[in-house]
Amino acid sequence: MSRRIITLLAAFVAVLGLTVLVPSTASAAACAAAWNSSSVYTGGMTASHNGRNWQAKWWTQNETPGSAEVWADQGACGGGGGNPNPDPSGFVVSEAQFNQMFPNRNSFYSYSGLTAAMSAYPAFAKTGSDTVRKQEAAAFLANVAHETGGLVHIVEQNTANYPHYCDWSQSYGCPAGQAAYYGRGPIQLSWNFNYKAAGDALGIDLLGNPWRVERESAVAWKTGLWYWNTQSGPGTMTGHNAMVNQAGFGHSIRSINGSLECDGKNPAQVQSRVNNYQRFTQILGVPTGGNLYC
């Protein structure tokens, strides 16, 4: 029913002394991630509490929105349970939260590409409690953020490394060329044997055509999820198992680059990953859990 007809109808029934209920066209804003008493919020970060969105004016922790001056009321919100997300994948990170995590990301790393890729590994961010699922998503994205400079770089920036990623001892060699297996994608897939293994697992010929990882968003995301869900690297468990079994974020770092970063080898790099994880869990409204370092 158009607003003009509703207005005329209301005027008519008013003459008759009746009451008409005019439907509202306004809708509440989507709720931000639910406020968490153990999370740290800095100025500008948002959280939802008791059906309203709140924005932190400055650093705060364990100060309840609505009862502390640090929080500015942003108005009523509704729906989404703190995670407004119409995507049919059911990913625990909404597109709005994804964009908040990666404000300067390369458009190649699309949210739709990520959610499409998740069909290859249905256990990812869908195992355990809601908190565990969000912690796993935050952990994966935190490592990805570090590997790509905030989802900016699609390929490895040090071109001098390119010819070194061909292991000729493998029977299949390097059919795409000696310098073709450089780092690409969200976890910077590199080496001919990793392209072969990822391609075999995903049903894609990445050994013969590694360039697909830098040209197709869903393929790139799939290689990242392949490593996260199936590869322990220099660690003792996959990133997926580290998070769903609550071994801690530190074990995910070890599985990705532990031989170069863990055990005191490069604490600044480890801290960068931890900082990302802490920020992303804040956005999702969940605690970080223990064992953050490796």
Classify residue 71 by burial, with Cβ atoms within 10 Å: 0-12, 13-18, 19+: buried
Phi then psi dihedrals of residue 55, to 5 deg: -120, 130
Tell how far CA 157 is from the center of its chain.
23
Nearest to 216 by CA among 114, 97, 88: 114
In angstroms, the CA 33 to CA 227 distance is: 28
Verify whether residue 63 is a known catalytic residue. no
SS3 26: coil
- In 3-state terms the chain splits into helix, strand, coil percentages (rounded to 5) of 45, 10, 50
Q: What angle do CA 50, 38, 51 make, to 5 degrees?
A: 10
Task: List the beta bridge partners of residue 226.
Answer: none
CB atoms within 10 A of CB 205: 15
Which amino acid belongs to residue 275? N
Catalytic residue among 69, 136, 147, 156: 147
Residues designated as active site: 147
